[in-house]
Amino acid sequence: MKNIRITYLVLFAGLGLLWLLADERLGGPYEFFALRHSLVNLTGILAVGAMSLGLFLAIRPAFLESFFGGLDKGYRLHKWLGISALVLSVLHWLWIKVPKWMVGWGWLERPARRASGGEEVGALQDFLRSQRDLAEQLGEWAFYAAVALILLALLKRFPYRYFFKTHRLLAVVYLALVFHSVVLMDTAYWASPLGAVMAVLLLAGSLAAGVSLLRRIGGRRRALGHIEALELHKDNRVLGIDIRLQDRWPGHQAGQFAFVTFDPTEGPHPFTISSAWHDDGRLRFHVKGIGDYTAILPQTLKVGDPVTVEGPYGRFDFAGGKARQIWVAGGIGITPFIARLQALAGRPDGRGTDLFYSTAVPDQAFIERLQMLAGQAGVRLHVLVSGRDERLTGEHLRERVPDWREADVWFCGPAGFGRALCESLTGSGLPAASFHQELFEMR
């Protein structure tokens, strides 16, 4: 989380500072419309800068995953940038519109137009000036479209299959805003360091938009396969899906996830891989029926159906220098730990490990298999059933594992559960860096 905060602050603080150094109007005497012109530029620069980086992160660049600590952290930054771009775009629009309305209402006096005769301009500047009206109109309609699409993306009730399609339209909207920005940004800005930085951001965002529109996101990390077996655990509504890959798979670490496409019209969904890699082309996923789409998978999937798997992603890899580990799983959050148990069964790491599995709807066959895997891996398993056993809190965990301060804690489950546990443990002395949690929200 530290690096995504730093990236966020550096982007906005850096663009703001470069704008301050490039703007020529701020040094003169106060004049409302001159200030308004500068702030229109500032809000526009910050908004399109946020959109540029956000769009680049959306194509899942592999080289940034280690820096952010996992793709999930990169998507958290993507979301923050989207919200920031929305707010800044609205401010940009208000700085343009409100003074015009105030002039119409008689509250402000329209500024005198500056004479443009006598200026020597190059062919490029002349062309850009000729495009100003088009850039303004295109930018306004792109703004309305961006606001609508970003708001839809933030609405969790908006079905994923529609979100997947509408969110791609932001690439088209972004390219319209690139044209708007290039034409309307002050010429003096382009001649300053701000211009160089904006050129890089706009180019990176435009390339990312092209990748998105051509549907090539993650293209080099995709593998085709088919469903080899299905196993439904009715009591806890979990579907086990065995996939046999036909293409080369680079291998994965226990705890990583992949984007899986069962239905191209629905699009890829992220699922944690619940099997260790044995270099045999086989992957297993456990999917819980908790949404409109995942709930119907037991009825819609069949053995032999084609599947596309993209990955692996994530840094939930159980690494760490401590000789003690504590794993906490809530519900379907058990999946990365199943993969790790399989890996340890074949290659023990010598660590002392406790696994706490909290579930509201236990499936006896599922738990028996989990107990068998834990025994093979040498991991102490604690199964906590909601309504029957006490709720797992930081206090209860500390009581059950006396040497918890010397352990790395790995959590996968509901965000609120993880947040409460983290606050309790770190508040009692566990170093924050010792608590690992994946932010498994991709929108």
- 10 and 124 together in one domain: yes
Tell whether the model's pLDDT for residue 442 goes beyond 80: no
Segment among 99-108, 121-130, 336-345, 410-419 with least mean pLDDT: 121-130
Task: Assign 399 a pLDDT band (cuts: 50, 70, 90).
Answer: very high
User: For residue 393, what are its two tokens?
Assistant: 């809190």
Residue with the larger pLDDT of the pair 332 and 361: 332
Task: Assign 115 a pLDDT band (cuts: 50, 70, 90).
Answer: low
Q: Does any domain span residue 318? A: no
State pLDDT tens for residues 238-254: 999 999 999 889 999 99
Helix 2-22 × helix 193-213 angle, to 10°: 130
Q: Does any domain span residue 344? A: yes
The pLDDT of 125-144, averaged and rounded, is 91
Out of 289, 313, 337, pick the residue that ends a domain: 313
CATH number reported for the structural domain that contains residue 251 in this entry: 2.40.30.10
- 309 and 337 together in one domain: no
Tell whether the model's pLDDT for residue 334 goes beyond 60: yes
The fraction of the chain above a pLDDT of 90, given in percent, is 70
Please tell me the predicted confidence (pLDDT) of residue 381: 96
Q: Does any domain span residue 236? A: yes
Please tell me the predicted confidence (pLDDT) of residue 440: 65
- 49 and 190 together in one domain: yes
Helix 193-213 × helix 160-184 angle, to 10°: 150
Please tell me the predicted confidence (pLDDT) of residue 438: 81
- 166 and 56 together in one domain: yes
Q: Which residue has the tokens 């056993």?
A: 389
- 92 and 157 together in one domain: yes
Please tell me the predicted confidence (pLDDT) of residue 161: 82
CA distance linking residue 421 with residue 336, whole number of Å: 19
Buried b (16+ CB within 10 A) or exposed e, 25-35: eeeeeeeeebe
Please tell me the predicted confidence (pLDDT) of residue 360: 86
Tell whether the model's pLDDT for residue 425 goes beyond 80: yes
Task: Assign 378 a pLDDT band (cuts: 50, 70, 90).
Answer: very high
Total number of domains in the chain? 3
Please tell me the predicted confidence (pLDDT) of residue 113: 67
Closest Cα partner for 443 from 161, 147, 68?
A: 161
Please tell me the predicted confidence (pLDDT) of residue 66: 87
Q: Does any domain span residue 319? A: no
Please tell me the predicted confidence (pLDDT) of residue 237: 87
Please tell me the predicted confidence (pLDDT) of residue 236: 82
Please tell me the predicted confidence (pLDDT) of residue 117: 47
- 169 and 264 together in one domain: no
Please tell me the predicted confidence (pLDDT) of residue 20: 94
Per mean pLDDT, which of 1-5, 127-131, 197-201, 214-218 is the most reliable? 197-201
- 101 and 209 together in one domain: yes
As a whole number, the mean pLDDT across the chain is: 91
Tell whether the model's pLDDT for residue 341 goes beyond 70: yes
CATH number reported for the structural domain that contains residue 128 in this entry: 1.20.120
In sequence order, which residues have a C-beta less than 8 Å from that of residue 330 and are 6 or more positions away?
358, 359, 411, 412, 413, 414, 417, 418
- 54 and 146 together in one domain: yes
CA distance linking residue 422 with residue 419, whole number of Å: 5
CA distance linking residue 170 with residue 145, whole number of Å: 8
The pLDDT of 138-151, averaged and rounded, is 96
- 26 and 100 together in one domain: yes
Out of 281, 313, 345, pick the residue that ends a domain: 313
Segment among 71-75, 140-144, 224-228 with least mean pLDDT: 71-75
367 close to 284: Cβ distance less than 8 angstroms: no
Tell whether the model's pLDDT for residue 201 goes beyond 60: yes
- 89 and 134 together in one domain: yes
State pLDDT tens for residues 54-67: 999 999 998 898 89
CA distance linking residue 74 with residue 349, whole number of Å: 29
Domain that holds residue 81: 2-113+120-213
Task: Assign 389 a pLDDT band (cuts: 50, 70, 90).
Answer: confident
Segment among 66-70, 94-98, 350-354 with least mean pLDDT: 66-70
Task: Assign 159 a pLDDT band (cuts: 50, 70, 90).
Answer: confident
Tell whether the model's pLDDT for residue 118 goes beyond 50: no
- 209 and 240 together in one domain: no
